[in-house]
Every structure is written in structure tokens, then in C-alpha cells.
Amino acid sequence: MATYVLMLTLNAEGRDRMLADPDSLLRVQNEIDLPEVVTLGLYGVLGRYDFVSILEAPDNNSAARFSLELGVRAGAHIETLPAVPVGHFHAHNFETFEFSDEARELDPSS
């Protein structure tokens, strides 16, 4: 499973929906039923974006489908970012960004 970060900005319709029903975004996110896609959290944030959602999905296509459905149903523009644990990048091989099968802790002494 891969991790994805969805950055949401509500459009006018989404803002109106949130004012009328503050739980609408969370409810819509929970109603989307895609195989093997698991939402890990939904956070309101300050700054350029209104909300951040974190999910796990088996592949980019599943994450894109979730993002599209959430955006349409919630009234939001969504920027979807695949997230790679920092431990997957081997410090000695920055040119090829060699991936390992498991995340590993970075040793500050190396």
C-alpha cells in the first residue's frame, strides 16, 4: 500500500455546503467506497489549503479515483501527492533514489 496526501481547497459550492453542514466533508470522505483504499485522517489546516486528507491506496489509479470522487462530491479542488517515507531513500545513492522494501530509520551519525 502506498500513502497519499490530498490537499483540498473548497470551491464556492463546497464552502456553502460546509457552512450549512460542517460534517459534510468528513461524511463524504467516509462514504466513498473503493476497494483497498483506506482513509487515515482528515485535517483542517491554515494557509493555502483548507483541508488535508491522508489515505492509503494500492496504486496511483485508486488514489486518483478517490481524489476525483471526493472533489466532485465535496465541492473541492484537490492536489494529490504520493508520499514516500524518507527512510526509503538510501543516503548513499541520491542520483538514483534507490528504494528499499521497508522504511528505515536514518542514522544521524552517517
Of 79, 83, 65, 103, nearest in space to 4 by CA? 83
The predicted pLDDT at position 28 comes to 96
Task: Please give the chain's pLDDT, 110 residues, in tens.
Answer: 999 999 999 999 999 999 999 999 999 999 999 999 999 999 999 999 999 999 999 999 999 999 999 999 999 999 999 998 887 766 555 555 555 445 445 444 54
The predicted pLDDT at position 85 comes to 84
Domain boundaries along the sequence of the chain: 2-84
Of 70, 93, 90, nearest in space to 80 by CA? 70
Does the domain at residues 2-84 carry the CATH identifier 3.40.1550.10? Answer: no
Rg over CA atoms, the chain = 17
Whole-number Å distance between alpha carbons of 63 and 17? 24
The predicted pLDDT at position 110 comes to 47
Predicted TM-score of the model (pTM): 0.79
